[in-house]
Structure 1
């Protein structure tokens, strides 16, 4: 069962929009967003089944959590927008 929590709003994109990262359609690309509650949301490729068995021994994932993959370029271009604290 999915975890219930208040739905925050998207405050801003973190990093460059997809079209500046080479997306031809700007419709289905990895993306990062800062939320009104201070957390971050990630749009990426769902890879839980493939990566779950390969997590380090000290890593854990709740049933309602998913492993999502974003491109290296997406995260590197977001670095300048991620707060230090």
Structure 2
């Protein structure tokens, strides 16, 4: 079931800000955030139409879910901030 995400707030960024990852403008780049309920929000490139047909047989998404792509560097830099539990 989908939570009402409007009830949550961004509490922190995971990894480096775009300006430290080489963004020319420092404003629009993939980003990861932790929410007040412990979930994560991702800014990335919407790729549902391209990747949905290639999901493995044991993967599925709800109509309200989207497949979002972020670059490897963004996720690797966020790794240190992702909790183990």
Place the TM-score, normalised by the shorter chain, in its bin.
over 0.9
Tell me the residue number matched to 1:15.
15
Moved over 3 A (4+): none
Tell me the residue number matched to 1:43.
43
- Deviation (angstroms), 1:26: 1.3
Give the TM-score, by structure 2 length.
Answer: 0.94
- Deviation (angstroms), 1:14: 0.3
Q: Give RMSD over aligned pairs.
A: 1.1
Which sections of structure 1, spanning at least 5 residues, go unmatched? none
- Deviation (angstroms), 1:4: 6.0
Give the TM-score, by structure 1 length.
Answer: 0.94
Instruction: Give, in whole Å, the separation in 1 of the partners of 2:80 and 2:3.
Output: 31
